[in-house]
Structure 1
Amino acid sequence: MLEIIKKAFDKFDGLIVLAAIFLFSHFDFGNLSTLDKIYTASFAFWAVTKLIRMYIIYKNEQKG
């Protein structure tokens, strides 16, 4: 499982995770601006595509 994670993530993804943690820790969730909603949607999209990439890598590992 660790090999799949290593193949799916690179160094830039670590920066994205750090940026997400920083931004989400400073959000006022009771009063989100349009830009905050766009950030949230983009991080959610990134997370879903990473999960899909991990699933594809997992399936390819099972075949080979």
Structure 2
Amino acid sequence: MLHRPSMGLSPQWNILAADFDPTFDQAEEARQKLFDTKPKEWYFEKIRKLVSSNQAR
């Protein structure tokens, strides 16, 4: 099993993350399900806000 950094999660979540070692197909399916939960416009708006906040610096 690969070593995974804690990512600042509480100990019980670190244990769960360490036990979860998905295949590429499982990870890709989970990623697709996550991105399908919101319309593309939602993501575009988030990107626009991020770009405009970075340009303001």
* TM-score (normalised: structure 2): 0.35
Higher relative contact order (CA closer than 8 Å, sequence separation 6+) = 1
* TM-score (normalised: structure 1): 0.33
Max Rg structure: 2
Bigger fraction of residues in helix:
1
